[in-house]
Amino acid sequence: MAANKMAFGVLLLGVSLLLILALPRLEAHSRAAAAAAPPVVNSSSIGGAVTSSKGPEAGVWVIAETKDLPTGFRKIVVTDDQGRYVVPDLPKGNYKVWVRGYGLVDSKPVNVTPGKTVNLQAVLAPSERAAAQYYPANYWYSMIKIPPKSAFPMEKEGINDQLDWITRMKFDIQITQVGDKATREMPEKLGKFKSSEEAWQAWLKVEPPVNVARLNKDTAIKMYADWTDRIAAGDYPKEVPPRPQGLERNVVISEWDWGNDKSFIHDVITTYNPDPSFNANGLIYGAEQFSSDKMVALDPVQAKTVRFAVPMRDQDMPSLGPQKYPLTWGNEDIHPGRMRLHNQMFDLQGRIWTTAKFRKSDAASQPSFCKNGEENAYAKLYPINRNGDLQVVLYEPGSHKFQFIDTCFATHHMTFGEDADHTLYFSSAGSPVVGWIDTKVWDETHDPAKAQGWCPYILDTNGDGKQDSEYQVMNPHVLEFSSNYFRDSEKSTTDALDPQKDTLFNGIGYGIAYNPVDHSLWIGSSGNPGYIVRMDPGSNPPRTCKAEVYFPPSGATAPKGVYADRQTGLIWVSFAGTGQFASFDRRKCKVLNGATATGHHCPEGWTLYPQPGPKFQSTSITADWYYLNWVDQFNALGLGNNVPMAPGTNSDSLIALKPDTKQWVVMRVPYPMGFYSRGMDGRIDDPNGGWKGRGVWTTYASVNPWNMEGGKGSEPKVVKFQVRPDPLAQ
């Protein structure tokens, strides 16, 4: 009996020990079960889990699309580490929902309405090549075999080296993506040819996917023919894009169709830049360039769009010339616009300023005050005899009235200062100046001569801290500076600069930014290597205007975009040609003026941040393109104040750099493929609304919207990015 009791006691002790040992596993299992619990779905959301034959699929996209609203609408989210998803805040309607992700092919769409839990079955790609069909354009573009370093220089074309070749080649992305399906596969309508080189010759004549005029034509055609031949034979990118990770899984993307299937909508504008809460929940505006002389607007609350004509001041303004795409549109001129509507800005009165062409470009059409120093102090310092490009159109949405402001300087991009007169500053693609319109003076006088001014790029070469009445000229095609000498790439001569005279740097501008820390203007430029210019108008322009020029560090080209950190004044720069992000800190410069301040005098100011993404074979240069960068000064996106961002124009993305951690956040737009963005704008609709009250806006801005996924008939889209606290947040 005693033996039985002892045996029972031993058994009980053993069971107890087993339970104790198993407890952590049971608790872990319980936690895992809780973590994998179905997401909460409310009446305006759709949620569930995504699995494949391998199990839960983390970091893939769930796309919900409807045609039940006044314009096409879709919302896209990313699954969490358990494959769960929630698509929040969906307007009422019938949606098709499916899964897209790297390593997969699209799942079969499921019909569903908001308020439902829907588990989705992802489909593994049957091959690496099938999976690659969903990769962004830059992955395919990186497969191009660049001519080797030994092929340079190409003296006839003036191509110095491999870097110069790639910079020129990548300028094709100024128009449309290169590497997407429309540019990497020969169109069937082109016909049959003896060789792919002959096919490329024909393609370039009728509907060119690229521009070889800047390159050695024969070498370029062989390069592109080899690329498309390898793809046609079954080759594909071996580098796999990473799925969204970390913060990237918290991104929510909303899209609305706008314009029509021929619309080239260059930009979006949502708010007054110094105050992102302005125009909260209001209309989003864009301007069509080339495709028509119209503006477009989206009401994101009602999902309604409108297009309306912008009148021309001078009806005899010549056409920009017919632009036809016969393989796609036959004999139709799909770009009949004459005004070349371009960049836009909201002011505090809710008016929209647009750079646009409304008169002829010849010298006879230039107002006399632009050329005559007796009439105008700005013309006395630097006369502008011709405006070969754009002026300014002012639109008042309430009255639907337009005003035309004739500018001496050719306008391009613009930005507001933060002065009492709400001065609007412009980069100029035609003159070495920063121009402006004093909007207060314009409203009081409607006199363009009184309301505008400009500062030429005059460098303080003699170092006396002031602008001299006489200046020498430094040519725009400078290849390099060395002390007080420059080399002219066209004349191939070396001329000494007089160190006793100030110098006009005869460059042109692209992007422009206002620095609220010191009230300076910064201008970007295209080209190899390109340059950035700092302009201080001073207290009494034009006589107090002072410019500084800074060339990129070695290996970086085409600094088209510039933008300022609102707290530090740090200037963020995107190098389109070489695919790098950089900051420039003028505070580190040991020299700011004088005979040595000719561009290469402050290498210590630059910090380069190599971008993520594939590189061209045997090079260190990425296949992406960064059109114009931006700094989220007011945390409109939700990643923090003063986060620098840029469009991954050739990679279907917006990218952001967290300055504190140097962490990249790549916000990919997976559908429709062909997301081509030029810039962005941040708006805070509700500062107390958490992530839902904030967003960054942009648009599909390719010249050829029919190149995107869906082909002919596809329309551009307004795109809104938001970042929620976690992938399941409502």
Write out 124-176 in H/E/C secondary structure: ECCCHHHHHCCCCHHHHHCCCCCCCHHHCCECCCCECCHHHHHHHHHHHHHCC
Q: 19 is written with which tokens?
A: 């339970």
Q: Residue 280: is its pLDDT beyond 70?
A: yes
Dist. CA 550–CA 689, nearest whole Å: 42
653's enclosing H/E stretch is: strand 653-658
Residue 495 has a CB neighbour count (10 Å cut-off) of: 13
For residue 66, how many other CB atoms are within 10 A of its CB? 20
CB-facing half-sphere around the CA of 252: CA atoms within 13 A: 26
Residues 6+ apart with CB under 8 A from 720: 253, 254, 255, 300, 695, 696, 697
519: which residues sit within 8 A by CB, 6+ positions away? 417, 418, 419, 536
Across 127-136, 291-300, 331-340, 484-493, least confident range: 484-493
139-149: average pLDDT: 98
Report the 10 Å Cβ neighbour count for 441. Answer: 17
Among 450, 428, 433, residue whose Cα is nearest residue 441: 450
Mean pLDDT computed over every residue of the chain:
92
Encoded tokens for 336: 């009949």
Using the 8-state DSSP alphabet, how is residue 706 labeled?
Answer: G
Q: Is 541 exposed, middle or buried (0-12, 13-18, 19+ CB in 10 A)?
A: buried
CA distances (Å), origin 211, targets 175, 215, 385: 10, 8, 31
Q: Half-sphere exposure of 73 toward its Cβ, with a 13 Å CA cutoff?
A: 21
Domain segments of the chain: what residues?
Answer: 46-132, 137-232, 242-322+636-730, 344-412+414-450, 458-506+511-627
Q: pLDDT confidence of 475, banded at 50, 70, 90?
A: confident
Cβ neighbours of residue 284 under 8 Å, at least 6 residues apart?
268, 269, 270, 297, 298, 300, 697, 718
Would you say residue 8 has pLDDT above 80?
no
* Token duo for residue 350: 């809710």
Locus of tokens 């050329």: 371
What is the pLDDT, as a whole number, of residue 495?
57
Decide if pLDDT at 641 tops 70.
yes
In the chain, what is the greatest distance between 2 CA atoms, to the nearest angstrom? Answer: 125
Give the three-class secondary structure for 494: strand
Q: Considering just the CA atoms, what is the radius of gyration of the chain in Å?
A: 28
122 exposure class (CB count in 10 Å sphere: 0-12, 13-18, 19+): buried
Parallel, antiparallel or unpaired: strands 433-438 and 485-488: unpaired
pLDDT of residue 582: 96
Q: Which residue has the tokens 């006691």?
A: 9
User: Residue 191: left if φ>0, alpha if ψ -120 to 50, beta else—which one?
Assistant: left
Please state the rounded mean pLDDT for residues 646-654: 97
DSSP bridge pairs for 309: 294
DSSP 8-state code for residue 459: E
Q: What single-letter DSSP state applies at residue 32?
A: H
Q: Are 691 and 705 in contact (CB under 8 A)?
A: no
- How far is residue 657's CA from residue 639's CA, in Å, rounded to a whole number? 9
CA distances from 173 to 163, 178, 180, 650 (A): 16, 6, 11, 7
The pLDDT of residue 496 is above 80: no
SS3 626: strand
d(CA 451, CA 442): 5
CA 390 – CA 433 distance, rounded (Å): 14
Label residue 716 exposed, middle or buried (CB < 10 Å: 0-12, 13-18, 19+).
buried
- Structure token pair of residue 309: 């004509």
Least confident span in 100-104, 151-155, 415-419, 609-613:
609-613
Per-residue tokens: 377? 């102090």
How far the first Cα of the chain sits from its last, in Å, is 65
Q: How confident is the model at residue 22 (pLDDT cuts 50, 70, 90)?
A: very low
pLDDT at residue 481 greater than cutoff 50:
no
Residue (of 560, 564, 565) closest to 575 by Cα position? 560
522: three-class secondary structure by DSSP:
strand
Q: How far is CA 345 from the centre of its chain?
A: 16
When mean pLDDT is compared across 290-299, 483-492, 575-584, 615-624, the lowest value belongs to 483-492
Q: Residue 29 burial (CB < 10 Å; 0-12/13-18/19+)?
A: exposed
Residue-wise pLDDT for 104-118, tens only, equals 999 999 999 999 999
Sheet holding 561-564, edge to edge: 561-564, 571-575, 580-584, 606-610
Q: Rounded to an integer, what is the distance from CA 369 to the centroid of its chain?
A: 36
List, for residues 181-197, the tens digit of each pLDDT value: 999 999 999 999 999 99
The structure's pTM equals 0.93
Q: Report the alpha-carbon angle 224-228-232, nearest 5.
A: 170
Provide the token pair at 408. 């001496």
Tell me the average pLDDT across 220-228: 98
CA separation for the pair 135, 242 (Å, rounded)? 10
Residue 490 has pLDDT above 50, yes or no: no
Give the 3-state secondary structure of residue 246.
helix
CA–CA distance from 409 to each of 86, 369, 387, 392, 694 (Å)? 51, 12, 6, 10, 36
Q: Which of 408-422, 455-469, 492-506, 693-707 shows the lowest mean pLDDT across its residues?
A: 492-506
The predicted structure's pLDDT at residue 527: 85
- Three-state DSSP class for 328? helix
Contact assessment for residue 503 and residue 514, using Cβ atoms and an 8 Å cutoff: no
Question: Distance between CA 427 and CA 508 in Å, rounded?
Answer: 8
Q: Tell me what pLDDT residue 318 has.
A: 85
Tokens 């303080």 identify what position? 460
| Res. 353: pLDDT tops 90 | yes
Residue 472 backbone phi and psi in degrees, to 5: -95, 165
pLDDT in the model for residue 468:
86
Sign of CA dihedral 323, 325, 326, 330: negative
- The H or E element containing residue 17 is helix 2-35
Q: CA 246: distance to chain centroid?
A: 23
Paired strand residues for 296: 286, 307
Model confidence pLDDT, tens digit, residues 413-450: 999 999 999 999 999 988 999 999 999 999 999 999 99
- Tell me the residue type at 643: V
CATH of domain 46-132: 2.60.40.1120
* All residues at 6 or more sequence positions from 651 whose CB lies less than 8 Å from its CB, including other chains: 136, 137, 138, 613, 624, 666, 668
d(CA 44, CA 115): 6
Q: Of residues 31 and 211, which shows the higher confidence score?
A: 211
List the structure tokens of 229.
């031949």
Helix, strand, or coil here: 312?
A: coil
